[in-house]
């Protein structure tokens, strides 16, 4: 495959702050690449470097040439902060941005892509947060770009709007568009990306497919049971286990074997109040490699501040609660 984007040893310093510290990556044509990191990790600075809108040391090429020299119609980008005129309709906004190109796609086609045909004549300010963000993505699609760069595309929108944008990105990728997106939502990257890069303090600490990163750094699945079982129960199980403070944690249990663990508790005469099984994900990978977890707001908490293995709760991207680490 041919690389659409190549960055080699990219550095950017603002005064005493090193925003990017030797970042190298490549994005193959037709792939979705997700850059993961908390607020302040350097994601937006890297996006600007890839688009040629900020000065940076190192080498960056887009479709084999300097980003400033790429034909403008081949690129589409959506910054994290983008506020189009509120008193224009979705149709008017797409028509306006399409007018900036010599050859633009039809407004109706873009409205269909972003799922706003029925709301095309609604003022932007009257649309929901998810609909507004889809209009913004549409402004980056009016030219039919070969490379679409999205900086935190789903930040601040509701779960339904986020899922709609996920489906749109998946459809674009299926049609051959190369997508480079930044996010602090681990589930988003895990679902969408062919490859992810983990950025921390301006450094790319790892880069691979989600499955490979989870296999290498995610750790084991965990089954956590609140129980009154005696310590001897750990010796009755076929999987590594530990019992502490009324919680039995059993490691690397496949979900189809959970019934066997429960049966062992019954045989031992133990009772239990709750059962929670979690499998490793990109959040575990980021924690393992950086010692930090990323919260739903994009902030970081250190390993010592995050209740991971003791059954604490985390806030998922959609606001629900599940056992495990804090996002």
113-155 pLDDT, tens digit per residue, is 899 999 999 999 999 988 999 999 999 999 999 999 999 998 8
- Evaluate whether residue 12 is within a structural domain: yes
Q: Does one domain contain both 196 and 251?
A: no
Cα(109)–Cα(116) distance, integer angstroms = 10
Q: Does one domain contain both 95 and 195?
A: yes
pLDDT confidence band for 157 (50 / 70 / 90): confident
CATH number at residue 193: 3.40.50.300
Mean pLDDT of the chain: 89
* Averaged pLDDT, 55-76: 95
Q: Does one domain contain both 16 and 73?
A: yes
Domain count, the chain: 2
Q: Does one domain contain both 40 and 104?
A: yes
* Averaged pLDDT, 71-95: 94
Q: Does one domain contain both 78 and 153?
A: yes
Q: Does one domain contain both 155 and 188?
A: yes
Q: Does one domain contain both 196 and 235?
A: no
Note whether 247 and 152 are within 8 A (CB). Answer: no
Phi, psi at 267, each rounded to 5°: -60, -35
Q: Does one domain contain both 211 and 231?
A: no
Structural domain boundaries, residue 98 = 3-215
Domain end, chosen from 179, 195, 215, is at: 215
Q: Does one domain contain both 182 and 246?
A: no
Q: Does one domain contain both 85 and 23?
A: yes
pTM over 0.75: yes
Cα(324)–Cα(311) distance, integer angstroms = 6
pLDDT tens for 179-237 read 999 999 999 999 999 999 999 999 999 999 999 999 999 999 999 999 999 999 999 99
Q: Does one domain contain both 141 and 74?
A: yes
pLDDT at 155: 84
Q: Which residues neighbour 313 within 8 Å (Cβ) at sequence distance 6 or greater?
A: 307, 321, 322, 323, 324, 326
């Amino acid at each position: 495959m041919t690389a659409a984007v190549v960055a080699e040893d990219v550095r950017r310093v603002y005064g005493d702050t090193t925003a990017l510290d030797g970042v190298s990556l490549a994005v193959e044509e037709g792939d979705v690449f997700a850059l993961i990191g908390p607020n302040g990790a350097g994601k937006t600075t890297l996006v600007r470097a890839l688009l040629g809108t900020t000065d940076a040391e190192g080498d960056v090429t887009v479709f084999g040439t300097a980003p400033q020299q790429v034909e403008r119609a081949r690129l589409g980008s959506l910054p994290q902060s983008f506020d189009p005129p509120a008193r224009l309709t979705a149709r008017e906004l797409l028509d306006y941005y399409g007018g900036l190109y010599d050859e633009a796609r039809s407004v109706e086609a873009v409205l269909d892509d972003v799922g706003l045909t029925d709301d095309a004549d609604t003022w932007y300010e009257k649309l929901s947060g998810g609909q507004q963000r889809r209009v913004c993505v549409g402004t980056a699609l009016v030219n039919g770009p070969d490379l679409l760069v999205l900086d935190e595309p789903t930040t601040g929108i509701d779960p339904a709007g986020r899922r709609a944008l996920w489906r749109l990105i998946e459809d674009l990728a299926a049609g051959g568009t190369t997508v480079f997106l930044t996010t602090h939502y681990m589930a988003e990257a895990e679902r969408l990306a062919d490859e992810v890069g983990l950025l921390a303090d301006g450094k790319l600490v790892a880069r691979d497919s989600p499955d490979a990163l989870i296999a290498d750094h995610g750790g084991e699945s965990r089954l956590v049971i609140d129980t009154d079982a005696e310590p001897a129960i750990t010796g009755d199980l076929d999987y590594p286990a530990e019992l502490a403070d009324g919680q039995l944690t059993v490691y690397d249990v496949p979900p189809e074997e959970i019934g066997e663990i429960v049966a062992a508790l019954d045989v031992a005469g133990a009772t239990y109040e709750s059962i929670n099984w979690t499998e490793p994900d990109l959040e575990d990978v980021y924690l393992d490699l950086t010692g930090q977890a990323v919260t739903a707001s994009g902030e970081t908490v250190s390993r010592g501040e995050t209740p991971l293995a003791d059954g604490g709760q985390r806030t998922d991207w959609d606001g629900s609660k599940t056992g495990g680490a804090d996002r």
